[in-house]
Each structure stands twice: as structure tokens, then as C-alpha cells.
């Protein structure tokens, strides 16, 4: 058991590695009644090709990680949601490109709920009948996303940015791909990626770390058979640096065109401290220019080319990374012209120190405020753990960024051959 303290943030973090390889992190928050717990696997929608523990090369249908998440709550004895609800706990789960997380929040019966969380994730139960039944439910979910302009413009952009990488495929898969999912596919992925060495348990809130770790150790000792097959080995896709298609468009019943501009990053396997540095430098670049008060945001707003929907993000994971700006715009072509000219001007003149410092203070303030949210901590401590990054090193990383770092990042990332546009136009 290892303890780390971040006195400036008022954070105490206790880390432990169980005998079977399961990583446990506890963040005690004195004075909090609520507790959040997430039990996560480093397995997401992009992990569709891998070599199993016995050496077989396997490819499963797209959407299997999300499908597996859905089925984990269903057991022979009944629905696990009801068991959590009987103790006034709220349970949920989510799948991203890189990970799958199961979680609960509660104010009492914490250890009982924690055991339930561990047990239902550690003990899969799938049948041919329940798998077939779930296909219709998930197909409806997929169609719902296809009818959502926000989801459509984003995944349309990813299809333009990436030629081979599975990040271009919707997390839930396609209606066609999920039809091919079988009970055997679920068990194969479970054995390969729900191995303790590939998982992480986080507990945050009003809880004693030593009690949590003792409970988890006893629970895991009863499940020695889970370590029989080693973790699966992912098989990476070869992805070119350039974008696949520079422009993607479709029509939907919307009132105003919606546009996303994506910038494909390179060197995507950067992790640890270097990964955190890249994250913070990129965040400073886009926040300084495209948040209220930033010069490019100001130009777009003054020309009435954006509204409150406008924003930016930087997303990255195993083998992919991209920055995105966009939102509603009445004039998509004019929007693109102003953005392109804005980038050229910033590259020529540089970024003023006062703009960069204002952005740095804003990002630090937002981060400090987010530390009061148990939900934020439950999600991001785990996500950073899988990227071998320390979430609580964010402030020092932001403080260390120099203007030259940001301007060099601009020259590296903003290139014509690595830009793609996604546009949703009103019908007709």
C-alpha cells in the first residue's frame, strides 16, 4: 500500500496492488457522506483485434465492448440494478473508446455495495437467448445516435480523420455488426480483458482506505480462478498521418448547419508525463484562442458565425489523437475561411502573453473546482491511470508550459493535410 499526498490540493491518495494484479485507488474525502466507486477495465470499443492469452489472433464484431457492458448487469438470479436499489445505491456503467466502467454511488452500506460491484463484474453470465434479446435494444440505441445531429457530426468527422483506426466506428457499433455478436464473443473478450491485471478499482468519498483495501483483498482472494488466462494483447492498426477524407457532409432535419473541424495528431503513443504535457499544451492552445475572450473566438462571434453551442476538445487514446472545434454556424464556408485566416495570423504573430496567462489561470481554476466533484474524480482518476498519467499533476504541468511550447504545438498540429471537416446541413 502506497500513500501520496498533494497538500496544495488537499488530496490524499492511497494506492494498492492486490495479489492477483488488481490496482486499487482510494481517495478519502473527510466530511463527505457520499461515496463513488468505479470498477473499470482497460477495454473499449477500439479493442476489436487482439491475441488471446493462449496465442490465438481474434477479431470480434464492432460494438462488442459496449454490448458486453449491457449484459454484465443481467445475472441468473436477476437484475443487479435491483440489488443496488434495495440499498438505496445508484448504479450505472459506460463504455468509451478505451475503457469500460461500472459504478455505484451511495451514502450507506458502502462495503456491501462495493462487494456487489466486485462480484457482478467478476462473475459474467451470458446465454444465447439474452444475447439475442439485447440486440434489438442496442439497435434502437444505435439508431437514436444516428438521428442525433451532435453524434452524427462527430462520428462523421472521425470517419474523415481516420482511415483504418477503429475510433472511426461508433462506440456501440453498427446495427449490422451487433447482429453478428455471439455469447462466445462476449466470453472471449471477458476472459481477455476483464483480467485483474487489466482492471482498476477506484473508491472516492467519505470512506476509510484501509477498510476498503481489506474488503477488496478478501473478496479477490476468493476468485483465484480469474487469473488462469493472461490479459489479451492488442493488435494495433496502421494509421497514416494524413486524414482519410478532408470533408464529410450529410443532411438532417436541423434548423442551422452544424460544423466540426478536426485536426489529426501524430505520435499518439505518448503516455505518462509526456502525455500529460502534450495534453496541457494542446489545451492551453485551444482554450487561449477558442474560449470567450480568445482572439479567434472573438472574430467568429463578432461576425455572427457561432453561437453558444461552439466549443473545442482534445481527445486521445491508444493509436489516435485529435483536436476538434465547432458548433452551429449559419455560414459554414465563411466559418472555415475565418478559422483558416485566424490560424495563419496567430502562427505569424504568435500568442500574446496576457492571453496565454488568462487561459492558464482559467484552466487551473476549472481544475481546482472540479476536485470537489466525486463524479469527476471517479471518472478521470481511472482514465488517467490507464494512460499512466497522474491527474493531480495537472496544475504543475500547466504552470510549466511556456509560450514557445504552445506556438510549437500550433505549427505541429495545424496542417492542411491533417485537417478534416464534418458538416450537417439542413434538409434541402
List of E strands, 21-141: 23-28, 35-41, 49-51, 57-59, 74-75, 78-79, 90-95, 100-106
3-class secondary-structure state, position 209: helix
Active-site option among 15, 57, 69, 129: 69
Choices 1.10.630.10, 3.30.830.10, 3.40.50.300, 3.40.50.2300: CATH for 2-234: 3.30.830.10
- H or E segment and range at residue 139: helix 128-146
Query: 247-426 is classed in which CATH architecture?
Result: 2-Layer Sandwich (3.30)
For residue 357, count other CB atoms closer than 10 A to its CB.
Answer: 12
For residue 272, count other CB atoms closer than 10 A to its CB.
Answer: 11
Composition of the chain by helix, strand, coil, percent to 5: 45, 20, 30
Q: What is the pLDDT along the chain (428 residues), one digit of tens a residue?
A: 899 999 999 999 999 999 999 999 999 999 999 999 999 999 999 999 999 878 889 999 999 999 999 999 988 888 899 999 999 999 999 999 999 999 999 999 999 999 999 999 999 999 999 999 999 999 999 999 999 999 999 999 999 999 999 999 999 999 999 999 999 999 999 999 999 999 999 999 999 999 999 999 999 998 877 655 667 899 988 899 999 999 999 999 999 999 999 999 987 778 899 999 999 999 999 999 999 989 999 999 999 999 999 999 999 999 999 999 999 999 999 999 999 999 999 999 999 999 999 999 999 999 999 999 999 999 999 999 999 999 999 999 999 999 999 999 999 999 999 999 999 999 97
**Ranges in the chain annotated CATH 3.30.830.10:** 2-234, 247-426
Reference 170, options 158, 182, 188, 186; nearest CA is 158
Give the strand order in the sheet containing 57-59.
Answer: 57-59, 49-51, 233-234
Longest pairwise C-alpha distance within the chain: 66
Q: Examine the residue annotation and report whether 69 is marked as an active-site residue of this protein.
A: yes
Chain position carrying cell 448487469: 73
Amino acid at each position: 500500500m502506497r500513500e501520496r499526498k498533494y497538500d496544495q490540493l488537499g488530496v490524499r491518495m492511497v494506492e494498492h496492488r492486490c495479489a492477483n494484479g488488481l490496482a486499487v485507488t482510494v481517495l478519502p474525502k473527510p466530511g463527505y457522506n457520499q461515496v463513488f466507486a468505479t470498477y473499470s477495465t482497460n477495454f473499449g470499443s477500439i479493442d476489436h483485434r487482439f491475441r488471446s492469452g493462449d496465442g490465438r489472433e481474434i477479431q470480434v464484431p464492432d460494438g462488442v465492448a459496449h454490448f458486453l457492458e449491457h449484459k454484465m448487469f443481467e445475472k441468473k438470479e436477476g437484475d443487479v440494478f435491483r440489488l443496488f436499489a434495495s440499498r438505496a445505491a445508484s448504479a450505472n456503467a459506460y463504455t468509451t473508446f478505451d475503457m469500460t466502467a461500472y459504478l455505484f454511488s451511495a451514502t450507506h452500506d458502502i462495503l456491501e455495495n462495493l462487494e456487489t460491484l466486485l462480484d457482478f463484474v467478476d462473475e459474467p453470465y451470458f446465454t444465447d437467448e439474452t444475447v439475442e434479446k439485447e440486440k434489438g435494444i442496442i439497435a434502437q440505441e444505435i439508431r437514436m445516435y444516428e438521428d442525433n445531429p451532435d453524434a452524427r457530426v462527430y462520428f462523421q468527422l472521425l470517419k474523415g480523420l481516420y482511415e483504418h483506426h477503429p475510433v472511426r466506428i461508433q462506440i456501440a457499433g453498427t446495427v449490422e455488426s451487433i447482429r453478428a455478436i455471439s455469447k462466445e464473443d462476449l466470453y472471449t473478450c471477458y476472459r481477455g480483458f476483464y483480467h485483474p491485471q487489466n482492471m482498476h478499482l477506484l473508491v472516492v468519498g467519505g470512506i476509510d482506505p484501509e477498510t476498503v483495501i481489506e474488503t477488496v483483498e478478501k473478496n479477490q482472494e476468493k476468485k483465484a480462478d480469474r487469473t488462469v488466462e493472461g490479459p489479451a494483447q492488442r493488435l494495433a492498426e496502421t494509421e497514416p498521418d494524413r486524414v482519410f477524407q478532408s470533408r464529410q457532409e450529410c443532411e438532417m432535419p436541423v434548423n442551422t448547419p452544424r460544423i466540426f473541424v478536426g485536426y489529426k495528431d501524430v505520435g499518439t503513443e505518448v503516455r505518462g508525463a509526456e502525455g500529460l504535457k502534450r495534453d496541457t499544451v494542446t489545451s492551453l492552445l485551444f482554450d487561449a484562442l477558442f474560449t470567450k475572450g480568445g482572439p479567434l473566438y472573438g472574430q467568429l462571434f463578432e461576425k455572427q458565425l457561432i453561437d453558444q453551442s461552439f466549443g473545442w476538445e482534445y481527445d486521445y487514446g491508444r493509436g489516435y489523437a485529435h483536436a476538434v472545434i465547432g458548433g452551429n454556424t449559419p455560414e459554414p464556408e465563411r466559418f472555415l475561411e475565418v478559422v483558416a485566416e485566424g490560424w495563419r495570423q496567430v502562427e505569424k504573430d504568435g500568442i500574446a502573453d496576457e492571453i496565454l496567462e488568462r487561459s492558464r489561470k482559467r484552466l487551473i481554476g476549472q481544475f481546482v473546482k472540479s476536485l470537489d466533484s466525486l463524479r469527476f474524480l471517479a471518472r478521470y482518476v481511472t482514465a488517467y491511470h490507464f494512460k499512466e498519467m497522474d491527474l493531480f499533476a495537472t496544475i504543475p504541468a500547466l504552470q510549466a508550459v511556456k509560450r514557445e511550447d504552445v506556438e510549437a504545438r500550433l505549427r505541429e498540429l495545424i496542417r492542411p493535410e491533417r485537417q478534416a471537416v464534418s458538416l450537417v446541413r439542413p434538409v434541402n
